[in-house]
């Protein structure tokens, strides 16, 4: 009885196809990670590293209140020291239409955040590492937001000081900063952040509104 002779089957090497696919996947994943780090900076890459957003939520109310008070008075005091003459005009602008000022102030925060995210995305396109982009984003966005917030708190502080018949802008700044600190101490984090943003938005919104509409008007001839 003749035996059937089977020839060995030729198998195609899978590595020649799987290796390029896996390489492409890894490259795409790396690109997505870099872009995500650029756009979401402190909320993506750094959330897994030193600048974890849960640090704020996990911090004690006392620490949150102290940090809010210190940073608000620090940046607001810098505004009073350098641009004290502009605060009075900003107070008048916000006092005329406070609700509209609050909307424009929130828009100002949004515009600043957008431009910072856009700048970071350009850094990522230039090949800057995701960790570096995240650190830069945290620092730049933090300073920008605190600077806007400091100006807003300084304006509201002067507003409150004038309302009670006082003249020292530092007293008003400390008082409004204390109100924000109390909110961070007794309220949940999200609500405290809303309170902080609301105070700052009212303060900066009047100037932001005048800047937007003033820049849109044609210059008047003499």
| C-alpha–C-alpha distance, residues 78 and 141, integer Å | 18
Asked if residue 202 lies in contact with residue 156, where contact means CB atoms within 8 angstroms, the answer is yes
Question: DSSP for 122-161?
Answer: HHHHTT--HHHHHHHHHHHHHHHHHHHHHHHHHHHHHHHH
pLDDT the model gives residue 154: 93
- Of the chain, the percentage scoring pLDDT greater than 90 comes to 38
Do the Cβ atoms of 120 and 38 come closer than 8 Å? yes
| Mean pLDDT, range 124-139, rounded to an integer | 79
Q: Positive or negative CA dihedral for 65, 67, 68, 72?
A: positive
The average confidence (pLDDT) of the chain is 76
pLDDT 10s digits, 33-82: 444 444 444 444 433 344 455 556 667 889 999 999 999 999 999 998 88
More confident residue, 115 or 123: 115
Angle made by CA atoms 72, 177, 100, in degrees to the nearest 5: 90
- Helices H, strands E: what count in the chain? 7, 0
Is residue 211 very low, low, confident or very high in pLDDT (cuts 50, 70, 90)? confident
Q: Where are the alpha helices (DSSP H) in 44-129?
A: 54-58, 61-96, 98-125
Q: Is the pLDDT of residue 177 over 80?
A: yes
CB 153 within 8 A of CB 179: no
Cα–Cα distance measured from residue 128 to residue 37, given in angstroms and rounded to the nearest whole number = 11
pLDDT (0 to 100) of residue 153? 95
Judged against a pLDDT cut of 80, whether residue 94 lies above it is answered with: yes
Phi, psi for residue 103 in degrees, rounded to 5? -65, -45
Tell me the per-residue pLDDT of 139-164, one tens digit each, with 9 for 90 and over.
888 899 999 999 999 999 999 998 88
Identify which of 26, 34, 37 has the alpha carbon closest to the alpha carbon of residue 134: 37
Estimate to the nearest angstrom the gap between the alpha carbon of 105 and the chain centroid. Answer: 14
* Residue 31 binned pLDDT confidence (cut-offs 50, 70, 90): very low
């Amino acid at each position: 009885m003749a035996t059937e002779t089977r020839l060995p089957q030729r198998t195609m090497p899978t590595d020649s196809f799987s290796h390029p696919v896996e390489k492409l996947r890894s490259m795409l994943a790396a690109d997505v990670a870099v872009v995500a780090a650029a756009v979401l900076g402190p909320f993506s890459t750094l959330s897994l590293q030193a600048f974890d957003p849960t640090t704020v939520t996990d911090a004690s109310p006392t620490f949150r209140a102290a940090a809010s008070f210190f940073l608000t008075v620090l940046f607001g005091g810098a505004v009073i020291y350098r641009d004290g003459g502009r605060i009075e005009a900003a107070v008048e602008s916000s006092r005329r239409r406070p609700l509209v000022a609050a909307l424009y102030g929130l828009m100002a925060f949004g515009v600043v955040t957008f431009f910072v995210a856009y700048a970071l995305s350009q850094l990522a396109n230039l090949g800057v590492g995701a960790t570096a982009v995240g650190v830069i984003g945290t620092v730049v966005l933090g300073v920008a937001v605190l600077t806007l917030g400091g100006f807003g708190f300084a304006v509201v502080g002067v507003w409150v000081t004038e309302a009670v018949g006082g003249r020292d802008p530092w007293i008003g700044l400390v008082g409004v900063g204390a109100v924000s600190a109390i909110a961070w101490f007794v309220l949940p984090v999200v609500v405290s952040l809303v309170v902080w943003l609301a105070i700052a938005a009212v303060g900066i919104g009047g100037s932001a509104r005048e800047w937007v509409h003033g820049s849109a008007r044609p210059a008047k001839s003499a």
